[in-house]
Amino acid sequence: MTSMKPPMKMFDPHIHMTSRTTDDYQAMAAAGIAAVVEPGFWVGQPRTHVGTFEDYFAALIGWERFRASQFGIRHYCTIALNPKEANDPRVADGVIALIPKFLDKDGVVAVGEIGFDDMTPAEDRYFAAQIELAKRHGLPVLIHTPHRDKKRGTERTLAVVKESGIAEELVLVDHNTEETLPLVLATGCWAGHSIYPDTKMDEARMVALVERYGAERILINSAADWGVSDPLKVPKTAALMRERGIAEAAIKTIVWSNPIAFFAQSGKLDPAELGEAPAIDQRRLHEGNSVLRGQTPVTPGTES
Ligand SMILES: [Zn+2]
């Protein structure tokens, strides 16, 4: 306890807060996370009605954004038909028809997660269709890459991007590994990495990637959701980078400047605004609802 210096400001550009608790929000804020992007994804249980998606998207731009604000965290989201449910004819076309009205809303900073899960013809079709939606609305895209057969999935992903004609700097390809990162960096796309407990990519492997490739166009996220995951993986990875001697400037680029630069291309995320801490006012309500259960509200001037 030698220093009262606040932690470095960090951005988790891929986290499903809808599935997380207020304890998580408190711990994230304490660890320095000042902003998040919550991608529209699947919710574990297959949805059987288009209307369920509509309410889910509305909650991302409404209630969840409000909930984050109550802990001093800025919340942005991305909207899409996710790759897994692109294979469900009960909902796929209806969701595609629904998306445009959400893309112009405040806080919607990209189309995503789109891409491949099993690499089916339906996934191919909806992937391309949603890149077209992004182009039409002037938004970047966030692309999920498959967990199985990842190298081939990433190669096909980059081929679809190229064929679509979207500017590569508007594309963030996520869930990279040692095998896929060089493929993504060889294009103009940005490269995301999801740091998971035990599997896929961890803090030490991420440090090794940064030592080898540097910080340019590199992002890290927790991808925390309703499964075994850790919403503090961004600060934990930043801490290991520091311990292993990665320069502060490079760490800041990865955990703060890069996600801001990428999502600011939407025109809906203001880098200047992000430089200032938002005032927390827990007296506020969202459609009559509060995050409090009788606690004393934090108000502007009483934040610790
Ligand atoms: Zn996700």
How far away, in angstroms, is 42 Cα from ligand 1 center?
8
Query: Distance, CA 135 to ligand 1 centroid (Å)?
Result: 22
> In this structure, what is the dihedral angle of CA atoms 158, 154, 112, 20, given to the nearest 10 degrees?
-160
5 pLDDT higher than 80: no
Q: Are 34 and 73 spatial neighbours (Cβ–Cβ below 8 Å)?
A: yes
At 54 the pLDDT is 98
pLDDT band at 142 (very low <50, low <70, confident <90, very high): very high
- Distance (Å, rounded) from C-alpha 231 to C-alpha 148? 23
Q: Which residues does residue 35 pair with via DSSP β-bridges, in sequence order?
A: 11, 74
Residue 225: the pLDDT is 95
Apex CA 156: angle with CA 155 and CA 157, to 5°? 90
Q: How confident is the model at residue 279 (pLDDT cuts 50, 70, 90)?
A: confident
Could you tell me the distance, in angstroms and rounded to a whole number, from the CA of residue 82 to the centre of ligand 1?
9
Alpha carbons 293 and 207: distance in angstroms, whole number:
41
Comparing 131-135, 146-150, 198-202, the range with the smallest average pLDDT is 198-202
Indicate the residue type of 93.
Answer: D
Q: Ligand 1 mean position to 297 CA, how many Å?
A: 32
Q: How far is the CA of 284 from the centre of ligand 1 (A)?
A: 29
20 alpha carbon – ligand 1 mean position (Å):
13
State how far the Cα of 58 lies from the Cα of 84, in Å rounded to an integer: 20
The two three-digit tokens of residue 245, written as one number: 């001697």
Q: How far is the CA of 251 from the centre of ligand 1 (A)?
A: 23
Ligand 1 centre to CA of 298 (Å) is 31
> What does the pLDDT look like over 259-276, one tens digit per residue?
999 999 999 999 998 988
Distance 31 CA to ligand 1 centre (A): 21
Question: What separation in Å is there between the alpha carbon of 160 and the centre of ligand 1?
Answer: 20
